[in-house]
Amino acid sequence: MYQENILEHYENPQNFGEISNPTVSVEDSNPLCGDKLGVHILIDDKEIIKDIKFHGHGCAISMAAMSMLTEKLLGKNINYIKDLSKDDILEMLGIPISMTRIKCALLSLKISKLGFIEYHKDK
Protein backbone atom coordinates (compact mmCIF):
# COMPACT_ATOMS: atom_id res chain seq x y z
CA MET A 1 0.00 0.00 0.00
CA TYR A 2 2.74 2.49 0.90
CA GLN A 3 5.17 3.82 -1.65
CA GLU A 4 8.82 3.20 -0.91
CA ASN A 5 9.34 6.94 -0.41
CA ILE A 6 6.83 7.01 2.47
CA LEU A 7 8.39 3.97 4.12
CA GLU A 8 11.86 5.49 3.76
CA HIS A 9 10.76 8.73 5.47
CA TYR A 10 8.96 6.75 8.18
CA GLU A 11 11.89 4.46 8.92
CA ASN A 12 14.56 7.18 8.49
CA PRO A 13 12.82 10.51 9.13
CA GLN A 14 14.68 13.60 7.97
CA ASN A 15 15.12 16.48 10.42
CA PHE A 16 13.95 14.42 13.39
CA GLY A 17 15.03 15.88 16.72
CA GLU A 18 14.94 19.18 18.52
CA ILE A 19 16.52 22.62 18.27
CA SER A 20 17.80 24.01 21.56
CA ASN A 21 16.71 27.64 21.01
CA PRO A 22 14.02 27.65 18.33
CA THR A 23 12.26 30.79 17.20
CA VAL A 24 8.99 28.84 17.18
CA SER A 25 7.99 25.58 18.84
CA VAL A 26 4.51 24.06 18.54
CA GLU A 27 2.86 20.66 19.03
CA ASP A 28 -0.44 19.11 18.12
CA SER A 29 -2.03 15.71 17.89
CA ASN A 30 -4.61 13.67 16.09
CA PRO A 31 -6.78 12.29 18.90
CA LEU A 32 -8.50 9.84 16.54
CA CYS A 33 -5.36 7.76 16.05
CA GLY A 34 -2.93 8.98 18.71
CA ASP A 35 -0.40 10.66 16.42
CA LYS A 36 1.41 13.46 18.26
CA LEU A 37 4.01 15.64 16.56
CA GLY A 38 5.81 18.85 17.33
CA VAL A 39 8.03 21.14 15.28
CA HIS A 40 10.87 23.49 16.18
CA ILE A 41 11.73 26.19 13.67
CA LEU A 42 14.76 28.49 13.70
CA ILE A 43 14.10 31.63 11.65
CA ASP A 44 16.75 34.23 10.84
CA ASP A 45 16.32 38.02 10.68
CA LYS A 46 15.36 37.76 6.98
CA GLU A 47 12.55 35.34 7.91
CA ILE A 48 14.32 32.36 6.33
CA ILE A 49 13.90 28.95 7.94
CA LYS A 50 17.51 28.18 8.85
CA ASP A 51 16.74 24.96 10.70
CA ILE A 52 13.66 22.86 11.30
CA LYS A 53 13.25 19.72 13.37
CA PHE A 54 10.29 17.65 14.42
CA HIS A 55 9.65 15.17 17.20
CA GLY A 56 6.92 12.86 18.34
CA HIS A 57 5.32 9.65 17.20
CA GLY A 58 2.75 8.61 14.68
CA CYS A 59 1.81 6.31 11.87
CA ALA A 60 3.81 5.98 8.66
CA ILE A 61 1.67 8.59 6.90
CA SER A 62 1.97 11.32 9.55
CA MET A 63 5.70 10.75 10.18
CA ALA A 64 6.54 10.64 6.47
CA ALA A 65 4.48 13.75 5.74
CA MET A 66 6.25 15.67 8.51
CA SER A 67 9.67 14.47 7.37
CA MET A 68 8.97 15.43 3.74
CA LEU A 69 7.52 18.79 4.74
CA THR A 70 10.55 19.73 6.85
CA GLU A 71 12.74 19.06 3.82
CA LYS A 72 10.50 21.25 1.69
CA LEU A 73 10.49 24.14 4.22
CA LEU A 74 14.20 24.25 5.02
CA GLY A 75 15.71 27.37 3.43
CA LYS A 76 12.34 28.91 2.56
CA ASN A 77 10.84 32.11 3.89
CA ILE A 78 8.50 31.43 6.83
CA ASN A 79 5.69 33.05 4.82
CA TYR A 80 5.90 30.15 2.34
CA ILE A 81 3.88 28.13 4.87
CA LYS A 82 0.91 30.47 4.49
CA ASP A 83 0.25 29.27 0.94
CA LEU A 84 0.68 25.54 1.54
CA SER A 85 -2.49 23.53 1.05
CA LYS A 86 -3.93 20.08 1.56
CA ASP A 87 -3.23 19.38 -2.11
CA ASP A 88 0.47 20.18 -1.66
CA ILE A 89 0.75 17.59 1.11
CA LEU A 90 -1.19 14.94 -0.78
CA GLU A 91 0.93 15.52 -3.89
CA MET A 92 4.09 15.26 -1.80
CA LEU A 93 2.95 11.90 -0.36
CA GLY A 94 2.10 10.61 -3.82
CA ILE A 95 -0.49 8.00 -2.86
CA PRO A 96 -4.27 8.09 -2.52
CA ILE A 97 -5.21 8.85 1.08
CA SER A 98 -8.48 7.47 2.45
CA MET A 99 -10.85 9.65 4.45
CA THR A 100 -9.87 7.80 7.62
CA ARG A 101 -6.17 8.67 7.08
CA ILE A 102 -6.54 12.26 5.87
CA LYS A 103 -6.00 13.73 9.35
CA CYS A 104 -2.80 11.70 9.64
CA ALA A 105 -1.58 13.13 6.34
CA LEU A 106 -2.49 16.71 7.23
CA LEU A 107 -1.14 16.84 10.78
CA SER A 108 2.18 18.13 9.42
CA LEU A 109 0.40 20.95 7.58
CA LYS A 110 -1.62 21.84 10.66
CA ILE A 111 1.49 22.02 12.85
CA SER A 112 3.38 24.10 10.27
CA LYS A 113 0.49 26.55 10.00
CA LEU A 114 0.38 26.80 13.82
CA GLY A 115 4.09 27.62 13.73
CA PHE A 116 3.47 30.31 11.13
CA ILE A 117 0.71 31.83 13.30
CA GLU A 118 2.86 31.63 16.43
CA TYR A 119 5.73 33.40 14.65
CA HIS A 120 3.49 36.24 13.44
CA LYS A 121 1.32 36.69 16.53
CA ASP A 122 3.61 39.29 18.14
CA LYS A 123 4.69 41.04 14.96
φ, ψ at 2 (rounded to 5°):
-90, 140
88-110 b/e with 16+ CB inside 10 Å = b? ebbebbeeebeeebebbbbbbbb
For the structural domain made of 4-120, what CATH number should be given? 3.90.1010.10
Backbone CA torsion sign across 6, 66, 89, 46: negative
pLDDT at 31: 87
Query: Model confidence over 4-40: pLDDT tens digits?
Result: 899 999 999 999 999 999 999 999 998 888 999 999 9
pLDDT at 2: 61
pLDDT over 90 percentage in the chain: 86
Domain coordinates of the chain in residue numbers? 4-120
- How far apart, in Å, are the Cα atoms of 87 and each of 38, 50, 95? 21, 25, 12
Determine contact, residues 106/62, Cβ cutoff 8 Å. no
Q: How far apart are CA 24 and CA 52, in angstroms?
A: 10
pLDDT at 102: 93
